[in-house]
Amino acid sequence: MDGTRRVGVAVDFSACSKKALQWAADNVVRNGDHLILVTIVPEGGLEKGEQQLWEDSGSPLIPLAEFSEPTIMKKYGAKPDAETLDIVNTVARQKQIVVVMKIFWGDPREKICEAIDKIPLSCLVIGNRGLGKLKRAIMGSVSNYVVNNGSCPVTVVKQGIHET
């Protein structure tokens, strides 16, 4: 992957992460780039041996053909949905890019920041659920944490007011 841009998109397969993925595909990704989907799975989604093997470094880079297969993704504890797969297959075909997924287990805030450094990413696009001030104060905002602690440029794609 040396010499090419590595555009990361944090995805949890929610509506806001799909919007961020589509925005990145339309506005950031260029021909020849590597699009890397960074997925964080809560701990406990894997068998003990596999989790110990990958908990520090994350999963290997999983090619698009493999993360499109539900049986393969079950091994990692992740479930990409049809809409996300459609977005990445379309952008891969149209812009002739390489699409891979990297899965980490644990706290999304910390693991996304780790992914930026370990992959390493040229930039990251992340969605924002649009939590109100009270919920954000109690739960914390993943996107806010990544913007303030990530070591690469981070773009936050906000969820629209009328979207769910």
pLDDT tens for each residue of 126-159: 998 765 555 445 445 898 899 999 999 999 998 7
Higher pLDDT pick, 42 / 66: 66
Structural contact between residues 151 and 119, judged by C-beta atoms closer than 8 angstroms: no
Q: How many CB atoms lie within 10 A of CB 39?
A: 30
Higher pLDDT pick, 55 / 72: 72
Q: Looking at the domain assignment, is residue 102 inside a domain? A: yes
Q: Can you tell me the distance from the alpha carbon of 112 to that of 8, in angstroms, rounded to the nearest whole number?
A: 10
> DSSP string of 118-154?
HTT-SEEEEEE----HHHHHHH--HHHHHHHH-SS-E
Q: Looking at the domain assignment, is residue 18 inside a domain? A: yes
Count the domains in the chain. 1
- Measured CA to CA in angstroms, residue 114 lies from 14, 92, 151, 153 at distances of 21, 25, 9, 14
Q: Looking at the domain assignment, is residue 141 inside a domain? A: yes
As a whole number, mean pLDDT of residues 6-12 equals 96
As a whole number, mean pLDDT of residues 84-90 equals 96
Model pLDDT, residue 139: 44
Whole-structure pTM value = 0.88
Q: Can you tell me the distance from the alpha carbon of 20 to that of 8, in angstroms, rounded to the nearest whole number?
A: 11
Q: Looking at the domain assignment, is residue 163 inside a domain? A: no
The H or E element spanning position 103 is strand 98-105
Q: Can you tell me the distance from the alpha carbon of 96 to that of 109, in angstroms, rounded to the nearest whole number?
A: 31
Residue 164 has pLDDT above 50, yes or no: no
Residue with tokens 């950031």: 28
Q: Looking at the domain assignment, is residue 61 inside a domain? A: yes
Range of the domain at 74: 6-158
Q: Looking at the domain assignment, is residue 10 inside a domain? A: yes
Q: Looking at the domain assignment, is residue 152 inside a domain? A: yes
CATH number at residue 99: 3.40.50.620
Q: Looking at the domain assignment, is residue 151 inside a domain? A: yes
